[in-house]
Amino acid sequence: MNRNDRATIAVADPSELDEVERLVTRVGLPTGGIRAGKGRFWLARDGDGRVVGCVGLEPYGAQALLRSLAVDPSYRGVGTGRALVETAIAEAGSQAEEIVLLTTTARAYFARLGFGVMNRADLRGPVNASEEVASLCPDTATVMVLARPRADGRRGAP
């Protein structure tokens, strides 16, 4: 692989969710809920068509859960993760006033992308019903949120 190669990003077809699960497992993230059909996943592929990254986004009303960001170690540091996150955020559009994620290892990375830390006890709204928040991620996971402008100009959910 040439580290200057740019990965191409496309929506994962339901038949490609096994690719998502393999990569997520390889990097040590939980696979629960991936096949639940509550959201959309994107795959990043190298020039040979090999999956080198993935991310998911589950909508929950005015909130969305960013989940399962996984990048093959050979594609880290070249913008693949950022491109996947930006794709998911763009997909959330104006419907999601808050994009929430949980992480045990990538707090600094997501902070560089504009996410702020919040106390898990302060997490409110329908995103709490997600399998990821309710049961998959340990209580020690850091909750992070990206508050987006609302129609009235304020940030975050009402």
Query: What domains are there in the chain, each with its CATH number?
Result: 8-147 (3.40.630.30)
Query: So what's the pLDDT on residue 54?
Result: 97
Cα distance between residue 52 and residue 49, in whole Å: 9
pLDDT confidence of residue 136:
65
Q: Round the CA-based radius of gyration of the chain to a whole number and report it.
A: 15
List Cβ neighbours of 112 (8 Å cut-off, separation of 6 or more): none
Q: Fill in the DSSP letter of residue 5.
A: P
Write the single-letter amino acid at 105: T
**Helix (H) or strand (E) run with residue 106 in it:** none
3-state secondary structure of 6: coil
Q: Which residues of the chain have pLDDT under 50?
A: 1-4, 155-158
82 burial type by CB count under 10 A (0-12 exposed, 13-18 middle, 19+ buried): middle
pLDDT of residue 74: 87
Are residues 81 and 103 in contact, defined by beta-carbon separation less than 8 angstroms? no
Tell me the C-alpha distance between 61 and 83, whole Å. 24
Mean pLDDT of the chain: 85
Token pair, residue 113, equals: 């992308």
Residue 84, beta-bridge partner list: none
Let me know: does 17 contact 56? Beta carbons within 8 Å: no
* Percent of residues, the chain, with pLDDT higher than 90: 49
pTM score, two decimals? 0.86
- Return the pLDDT at 119: 82
Angle, CA of 66, 70 and 74, to the nearest 5°: 150
pLDDT at residue 94, rounded to an integer = 75
